[in-house]
Structures are given as C-alpha cells and as structure tokens.
Chain A
C-alpha cells in the first residue's frame, strides 16, 4: 500500500484552516449514535476523551492505572511551549514551527508541525479556563521561561510540575464527562488487541486487571494514545508500567510503525547506582543553564575518586576537563540534548566515568554559586566579602532557582549538591518514533487513530524541550476531534457494533491463548530477567551511538532472546486475578519484537540525524570533524514499517519529506 499523508493543498499557513472548513461534520443528534474507544488517558488520550465526549460522542476510555490522573504525562517537569508572543520578543507561529522542524533535524512533516504551532496558543487559553494554575508575574499575567535551543521565551510553566497540572486539567474535563455519563471510564484495564472488521477498526479486547476477565468492547473508531516505548531499554525515565503493547498490537494488525530508531536520550538524569536499579530519574534540562559539566583530566584522579581516596572538590581547575566547553566553545554546556548525551558517553567510554559503574559525569554549580554570590554581595553593598559570605549568597540564588531539584537529588543520592558536584548520566527519555499517521492522525488502518507520543508525527528525529506536552494536548484537544468527525460522518447509519462476531471471537481467542501460555509455561526465568537483558542489548547497541555491526548483532541477539523468552519464561499466579507479572510478561513479549524492528530501522538509516547517531555518518574533516552528519539526499524520508510476521521481515515504505517553507541546514554548535 502506498503511503498517503493526506496533506491538504494550498499555502502552509492556510492548510489547517481551509481543511477544517471543508471536512465533513457529524450533526449533534447523530454523534449520540457513535462510540469511540480511547486507549490511554495521558495528555493526548485524556484531552481527546473529554473533547469527544463534549462534542457528544459516546467515549469509552481505558487506562492500566487506577485513575486517568496517573498517566505518565504527569511527570513532565519543565513546561509547555506556545506561540503566544506575550513577551513581545518576536515569537510567531512561524518561529515555533521553524524551531520545531529545525530542532527535529528536518525529519518531520512541515504541515503537521505548522498546525501544531497554530493550535499551541489555544492550548494555553483552554488550560487557563480549566483552572490550571500556571505561574504568573506580579502583574497577574502569565509568566514565561525560555528553554534550550530557541531564541524566544515561550514556555509556560507551573513550578516544576507542568505536566501534572496540565494532566489534572484534562482529567478534570474527563471527570465532568464521566459524571454526565458521556465517558465510560475503564480504570485498571489493559488493551490486549484491536479488532478489525471489514478493514476498519471496530473494537478492542481488554483485560480487567483486577479480575483477570477478558472483555470485548466495540466502537466506530479506536484511538490509541498509549505513549512511547522508551521502556524497551528497561531503564528509562518512563513509568514502570509504560508500555508499547497497544501500539505494537495495532502494528501487527496493519498499522505501519514509523522511525522506531528515533529515541531521545536525555543528558541530565541521575546515574544508575547498581544492578537492582528499576528506573531512572530525570533532572530538568534547566540545570545546564548554570551547571558546568566535567570529568577529571587524568586517569589517576578518576581511579582515586572511584576508590574514595579523593573527592571531586579536591581537584583543581587544571585537573578538570570541561569537555563540552572544550569541544563546543560556542554553545558550551548548552548544546542540544543529543549532543550533550553523546559527549558524556564518549568520555565514559574512554574510562573517565566518575562513579562505581563508570557511567557518570559531574554537573558542577561551584562557578555559578560564586558568580551569583559575588553579584549579590555587590547588590547588597557588601565590601570585600569573605569566601563564605559569597558562597552563602550564591547558594541562596541557586536554591531559589533549582531548590526542588537539588532536594530531589539529595533524597535519591544522599549527597548535598550545593557542596559537591552532582553526578549525571544520559537516560532514555522520549521516543519520537511511533505509529505512522496521516495528517488526520489516522493510521494505515481505517478508523484507527494514534495520538500523542504513541504516534511518530511532529518531532522528527529529535524533540525540543517543552514540546511533548504541546503535541499531546494539540492532538487531543484541537486536532483529532475535528479529523475524526470527517471519518465518522460515514458511520451515522452503521448502528451499534456487535461484539458477537467472528472477528471478536478470533481476537479474544488469540489473546486468551497467549495469556494461557504464560501461566502454564512454568519456565525458569522471570519476566524481568528478560527485560533487563533486552535493555542491555538496546542500550549498548541501539543507544546513543550506533553502527552497522552492533545493529546486526542486536537484531540477532534480540531474536535469540525472544526465542528463549517463549521457551523459558515463568509467570506465577493465575489468570483470573490481579497478576502484575502476567501484565509485565505481555508487555515484555511485545518489547522483544519492537526492539528488533528498532534495530532494523536504525540499520536502514545510515545517516546521523537528531537522536539517531550512526558512527558511519560523521563529518570527516574541517571544523565539524567527528560531528553527526545528516544525509538529506538519501534519507529525507519517514521510514514506515509494515508488519510481515517477524520483525526482521518488516517491509519498508518511504514517505518522502518535502520542505517548501524551510531551507535544510546542517546543525552546528562549535
């Protein structure tokens, strides 16, 4: 099947408006006759459920947590971008569009990104109306902060809990509709398959995670909003339950999976402390505004620090290697996420990692404390301040800016980051790849939609800070509710979809057989055993830097691991009860397939772009020597994979990307 992105004709800035004016609508009386299933209740799924219900559709929403409010969107810290230009600093739809496409290393669809920029302003209006307590200035108006890689101040925030507040906003809108009976909420339910009737998505099979019961749910359209697949790495900043099952199941039923190799590895996370580690914690990117990143220059010092004979504070300036400042004098510690992450890996691979696992670098606030301290002393008219006084004043400023992050760090690591440098290391954070969707956010299966992080759309090969929240809410509040109507307008005479059909029978049977297998297999290794092994392969061979040999090995190793999993996995407990191990088994089984496709995609893309770095594709000489080299001639396409029975047999479909409004440029941070 040829990919049709269905991008409307006409000038970029008019596409969405013109398109909205022309699509078919469903009249209010008919909306009552139409059911929509939404899987996932994060920013995208929650906002979509609420909006569809407000419009009059009957929504059935599903989440595996005990409440929609717990979806992992809640963990986003920094903020949400919107082209409001409240600061009068020259922001516009075009600038936000341009920054996003450039930040994504020119691997996203122009029309989608422009639409995202257009609706971004509406998101802020909507959220404020819902009572989201965004930060304000003393005049009572909304405050903005600036985020990495852009020249304007367009990020709206609610302390360090922006994701939480936006999600609670969407959740409150859902609650209003649940109370009205327009949303039927299924908490602690997990979608285990999609049901396709005559080529159209018509329902799902879900497991009630409390009773273990397998349920059939029908609808006229199915929306997948189940988030990203970062947990394929086992360790990531994702929630423990975050999984790719819904996205992977629809892939196996015909939805193409796009660009799986685009993964964002975030540079500032708290490092792993041991093999027992279950998850990684992100420290906001904002810390790099004031922290300086370094490792020791001499290997002797590295050893001394690891063995506890020396402290980082013992090392003089000369003995430190501020490697980002050394390599990228123009941007220094503020290079984009992918560059900062790779640089940390390079130093640690060379043996300069500063903790026991060898995977940590320092993020030091000493200079910032000194700088702020001196400034404060001057402001307060303190003459010849002592070193202690300077430090004291400086720490106050740093605390005001980053206090909650420093406290979080201290709780986890038990070290005082005011006194000794923080240790950080990159960790998997966000997946730009996902289910392929057209301009309508519909997958390659009719009536099957995919929104939020679960789809591949707007961030290209690299996502800018504070853009994930924007995309999730844009999809859910302002895009899908329009585009889905165009499809559903054909369904007003369909009537209720029956669940007593052979398609439902078959899907349910397959789901039950798989669950039966897990319970009855009685192998010798736990699910986590396999998940950790998969994570290790992914991290080492499909992590921050990739090469042909490693990727081929990864494909082979993942396949072998998968085969071993299906022979030797053990799942305790029963089918008909709450069984967290059984839930995990299904999710890891899907990761074991997705991982292989990931490696295959990374192998296919023999260029370095955004979060995907191929060692074979680097600048060979000149100022940029050793830096990532994009190849627009051969790879300016979306790689959409069609499932053919085995991940390795997936067939590639290319959606060529056209750039009419933006000139393609190589990124440079030297």
Chain B
C-alpha cells in the first residue's frame, strides 16, 4: 500500500504546531499501525529528519500508552482495539490518513503525538484506592464472600487501561467514563464501601479542577473505548455522587 499521512508535528509544549504531509510506500496490510509509523520514522531518520514522537509501549493493547487520533477517531476506525492493535488492513491503498494527538485542555501536547495525561494520575491520587496497609496478616481473602455478579461487574469496570480515548473522543473532553470506571470498581465491592462517599466526591472534584468538560451523554466514549467500558459506570458514579453529596 502507498499512503499519504497528515501528521501533527509540534516541537514542544510551547510550539504552535501544524499538520505536515508525508508519504509512505510498500506498506504491508499485515503491519500494525505503529509498525507503519516505525517505517515512516526509519525513513525520516535515514533522510536526516527528526522522527515523529509518539507514545507506545506494550504493543499488545493493555498498557494504555498509545494514543493517536486517526482519521477522526481515537485509536482509529477499528473497534475494541488500541492503536497498537490496529492493523493496516483497515485502510486502502492510496488513502490519506490524518494522525493527530489526543486533544483536550487537560491533555496538553508534549511533542508531536505525545500528550501529558498526568491529570489522570492526579484524579487517581485523589481517591482511587482502598486505604489498606501492606501486612502479612490482612484478613483471609475468602473471609468476605463477594457475589460473582458483583465481582464480574467490578472486573469489567477495572479493565480500564487509562489511555484517555474517552476524553479524546468526547466532544466535551469529559473524563467521566475514566472516573466512572474507577469509582464503580470500588463501589461494587464491599472493600470499597467504607471510603465510598469521600472517594467519589474527591475524585470528581479533582476531575473538575483538571479542566475536563461536562458529560452530555453522547455515548461516544463507550464506543471508542478499547476495553468497551460501559456507560453504566457513569450512571453509577452519578448516583454515588448524589448519595455522597446528600450525606455531606
């Protein structure tokens, strides 16, 4: 395949940045999208130009590091995959592909396609945990039975990889799916109950302070989420939040 790539280039956070056109040739349809980017970068290095910076690590869809907005969609046109799992067979010969960073005021660009998602970190630090110290004699793991349904639902919420596709794809740059998933995981488990009210209040407060937008229930996040995290998690967070607000 021969392709035209329109890629966002931005030297650093203070640079204005612009879209730049590149051509790549002889791309195999079996390549992953990032391998296609590797080909481009090798080409740029051999020409003495600076390669395109992009985040990536595990390349098997679990670390949540890769983060491109491809042809107008987070992680590209395929469903249930991250960019590293997207394969070139989703594209056609002579296509023009737009490649942009995840965009949100709370995800400032660091360089080219690399963005700063530390806002997610701060939200987690605000309450995304259960306060239990490590010790050799925590109570036995089987001392609290948990209904299989609740455990499975908590697991579904917990599969979030924190990639930020939900924010990137949301027309409002809202982080509700990310926060909702974490709040839900703990809200569904008995271990999470003690701190439930404080957790949801603190995490939502931090989310708002980071400058994410407001959820208007377009549902785009659920569709683009590589792990298929459900909107139910947002609804659950809304309930938990109201419950906690009434208490306080």
Contact B159 A129 (CB under 8 A): no
CB-based nearest A residue for B86: A411
- Which residues of chain A are within 8 angstroms of B131 by Cβ–Cβ distance? 176
Contact B62 A276 (CB under 8 A): no
Stretch at the interface among A145-153, A346-354, A575-583: A575-583
Q: How many Å lie between the Cα of A483 and that of B214 in the bound state?
A: 49
Contact B134 A572 (CB under 8 A): no
- Which residues of chain B are within 8 angstroms of A237 by Cβ–Cβ distance? 60
Contact B62 A66 (CB under 8 A): no
Stretch at the interface among B92-100, B120-128, B165-173, B215-223: B120-128
Q: How far is the CB of A145 from chain B (nearest CB, A)?
A: 15
Q: How far is the CB of A582 from chain B (nearest CB, A)?
A: 11
- Which residues of chain B are within 8 angstroms of A273 by Cβ–Cβ distance? 28, 30
Chain A-chain B contacts (Cβ-Cβ < 8 Å), number? 214
Given A140-B145, A276-B31, A175 and B128 contact (CB-CB distance below 8 Å): yes
Q: How many Å lie between the Cα of A402 and that of B59 in the bound state?
A: 21
> B71 near A: Cβ within 8 Å?
no
CB-based nearest A residue for B112: A578
Stretch at the interface among A157-165, A298-306, A493-501: A157-165
Which positions 67-121 of chain A face chain B at CB distance < 8 Å? 67, 69-72, 74-75, 84, 86, 119
Contact B116 A66 (CB under 8 A): yes
Top 3 closest pairs, chain A to chain B, by CB: A140-B145, A172-B129, A133-B155
Counting contact residues on chain B (CB < 8 A from A), the size range is 35 or more
Binding site for A on B (CB under 8 A): 11-12, 28, 30-32, 34-35, 38-39, 42, 44-46, 48-51, 53, 55-65, 78, 80-81, 85, 87, 89, 110-111, 114, 116-118, 120-121, 124-126, 128-142, 144-148, 151-152, 154-155, 158-159, 161-162, 185-186, 189, 191-192
Given A51-B134, A161-B159, A276-B35, A75 and B128 contact (CB-CB distance below 8 Å): no
Contact A572 B45 (CB under 8 A): yes
List, sorted by A's number, 19 A–B pairs whose CB atoms are closer than 8 Å: A70-B65, A74-B58, A122-B137, A125-B137, A129-B130, A129-B138, A130-B129, A130-B130, A140-B146, A142-B142, A158-B158, A176-B125, A237-B60, A274-B28, A408-B61, A408-B85, A411-B87, A412-B32, A581-B45
Q: How many Å lie between the Cα of A407 and that of B226 in the bound state?
A: 13
Q: How far is the CB of A584 from chain B (nearest CB, A)?
A: 10
Contact A125 B125 (CB under 8 A): no
Contact A142 B189 (CB under 8 A): no
Which positions 610-643 of chain A face chain B at CB distance < 8 Å? none
Contact A131 B121 (CB under 8 A): no
Contact A72 B58 (CB under 8 A): yes
Contact B185 A133 (CB under 8 A): yes
With A124-B141, A572-B49, A577-B11 given, name 9 new contacts (CB 8 A).
A65-B57, A74-B63, A130-B130, A133-B154, A158-B158, A175-B121, A281-B60, A411-B78, A573-B50
Contact A75 B58 (CB under 8 A): yes
- Which residues of chain A are within 8 angstroms of B139 by Cβ–Cβ distance? 125, 129
Q: How many Å lie between the Cα of A146 and that of B83 in the bound state?
A: 33
- Which residues of chain B are within 8 angstroms of A134 by Cβ–Cβ distance? 141, 151
- Which residues of chain B are within 8 angstroms of A67 by Cβ–Cβ distance? 117-118, 120-121, 162
Contact B63 A239 (CB under 8 A): yes
Contact B146 A70 (CB under 8 A): no
Per-position contact with B for A478-504: 1 when CB-CB < 8 Å, else 0?
Answer: 100100000000000000000000000
> A217 near B: Cβ within 8 Å?
no
Which positions 523-569 of chain A face chain B at CB distance < 8 Å? 526, 528
- Which residues of chain B are within 8 angstroms of A414 by Cβ–Cβ distance? 30, 87, 89
- Which residues of chain B are within 8 angstroms of A178 by Cβ–Cβ distance? 121, 125
Contact B85 A411 (CB under 8 A): yes
Contact of A577 among B65, B111, B125, B130 (CB under 8 A): B111
Contact A412 B87 (CB under 8 A): yes
Contact of B191 among A51, A69, A131, A281 (CB under 8 A): A131
Q: How many Å lie between the Cα of A69 and that of B140 in the bound state?
A: 26
- Which residues of chain B are within 8 angstroms of A578 by Cβ–Cβ distance? 12, 53, 110-111, 114
Q: Tally A residues with Cβ within 8 Å of B.
A: 81
- Which residues of chain B are within 8 angstroms of A135 by Cβ–Cβ distance? 151, 155
Q: How many Å lie between the Cα of A626 and that of B62 in the bound state?
A: 40
Contact A241 B134 (CB under 8 A): no
Q: How far is the CB of A44 from chain B (nearest CB, A)?
A: 13
Q: How many Å lie between the Cα of A414 and that of B87 in the bound state?
A: 9
Q: How far is the CB of A389 from chain B (nearest CB, A)?
A: 29
Q: How many Å lie between the Cα of A136 and that of B142 in the bound state?
A: 10
> A141 near B: Cβ within 8 Å?
yes
Contact A131 B87 (CB under 8 A): no
Q: How many Å lie between the Cα of A573 and that of B124 in the bound state?
A: 34
Contact A412 B125 (CB under 8 A): no
Contact B155 A66 (CB under 8 A): no
Q: How far is the CB of B77 from chain A (nearest CB, A)?
A: 13
Contact of B118 among A66, A70, A526, A581 (CB under 8 A): A66
- Which residues of chain A are within 8 angstroms of B128 by Cβ–Cβ distance? 172, 175
Contact A125 B63 (CB under 8 A): no
> A197 near B: Cβ within 8 Å?
no
Q: How many Å lie between the Cα of A323 and that of B207 in the bound state?
A: 57
Contact A75 B63 (CB under 8 A): yes
Q: How far is the CB of A388 from chain B (nearest CB, A)?
A: 28
Q: How far is the CB of A135 from chain B (nearest CB, A)?
A: 7
> A471 near B: Cβ within 8 Å?
no
Contact of A173 among B48, B59, B129, B158 (CB under 8 A): B129
> A381 near B: Cβ within 8 Å?
no
- Which residues of chain B are within 8 angstroms of A413 by Cβ–Cβ distance? 30
